[in-house]
Amino acid sequence: MPELQKIKLVLEDGTVFEGKSFGYHKSVAGEVVFNTAMTGYPESLTDPSYEGQILVATYPLIGNYGVPKDDKENGIPKFYESDRIHISGLIISDYSFEYSHWNAENSLREWLMQNEVPGIFDIDTRALTKILREKGSMLGKIEIENETIDFVDPNKENLVAKVSVKEKKVYGTGKNKVVLVDTGAKYNILRCLLKRDTTVTVVPWDYDFTQDDYDGVMLSNGPGDPQMCPDTVKHIQKAMEIGKPIFGICLGNQLLGIASGASTYKLKYGHRAHNHPVIKVGTDTCYITSQNHGFAIDNESLSSDWEPLFVNVNDKTNEGVRHKSKPFFSTQFHPEASSGPTDTEFLFDEFIGLIEKSK
């Protein structure tokens, strides 16, 4: 085992957790959030929705299966959700210095070092998570010895602009033309579309795609406050006037809601896990879903033309909306998963069905 340096986590309420450094040894600040998933840290760390956040993994043992190879397929990484790590820092209870997996190419520690992302272990993550549950997600900072930095609120920045593509990119040669509005899109959304006979044009968050030739619009996930994306909302409203199918995921759900006239609010500590149960409204059907978000649509603010599509079983918050007569719908959870359960991937088939029906 290498010689370990001391490092600490400081919360904005003054709470201090001291631990050991196992990533890149530097100080960073961000919003501290927790995820209860047992597996999937390579996917979580590369999920653009975590931009600006310090991630707490509640599962006690992390790192035991290393990180995968950086193989490419269709021009994108095969095993990651973006081209880089997006979290600002990683907090865990116990780090496994030994790793074993058929697809592992590197250790989690080496990967964090390469990407200059700090990691802390030997922290009581149960105690930390209880604080975040009781007081809500809060600002925090990771500080190395003899260094003090200021707190930073990432939600005051336009995080979407930081993670979105800068120019249009086209993937696939399928018969259905889909515009994917990249507000921080996970690559598995693109993979799920490509395996359904599509040509996908990925466009920047503020690009006016309504002038392009397309059959359907996919609104992606992404980080931060949806109110930071007025340009995206304006383009969604123009697309709604055109009337071609629209499917939103996560931040895309919130942006579709705002475009329809609804309002959003910040959740106390968000939903970040693999096991959130949602009910399809009007049925007894429950799905177990993968989630990662800190904001939600206010169901009471939906106009008469719109209705909730899914509701969270745990706290009754909105998990999706749909238009009552037009081919527009969205989910707050991640039907593409990666990581997590794939129970709701059929929603991509429903989206393609709406495209083919509307042609």
For residue 101, indicate whether it is catalytic: no
On whether 294 is known to bind a ligand per the annotation, the reply is yes
On whether 354 is known to bind a ligand per the annotation, the reply is no
Nearest C-alpha neighbor of 19 from the set 164, 174, 140: 140
For residue 192, indicate whether it is catalytic: no
On whether 247 is known to bind a ligand per the annotation, the reply is no
Please identify which of the residues 31, 229, 250, 293 carries the catalytic annotation. 250
**Backbone φ and ψ of 89, nearest 5°:** -165, 160
On whether 254 is known to bind a ligand per the annotation, the reply is yes
By CB atoms closer than 10 A (0-12, 13-18, 19+), residue 106 is: middle
> CA 104 to CA 107: how far, in whole Å?
8
For residue 250, indicate whether it is catalytic: yes
CB neighbours of 230 closer than 8 A, spacing ≥ 6? none
On whether 112 is known to bind a ligand per the annotation, the reply is no
Specify the amino acid at residue 252. G
Please identify which of the residues 31, 43, 319, 336 carries the catalytic annotation. 336
On whether 292 is known to bind a ligand per the annotation, the reply is yes
Please identify which of the residues 86, 274, 293, 334 carries the catalytic annotation. 334
> CA 271 to CA 249: how far, in whole Å?
14
> CA 294 to CA 300: how far, in whole Å?
18
Strand partners, 307: 322
Longest dimension (CA), the chain: 64
- Binding region for L-glutamine: 49, 222, 224, 251, 254, 292, 294-295
Give catalytic residue positions.
Answer: 250, 334, 336
- Binding region: 49, 222, 224, 251, 254, 292, 294-295
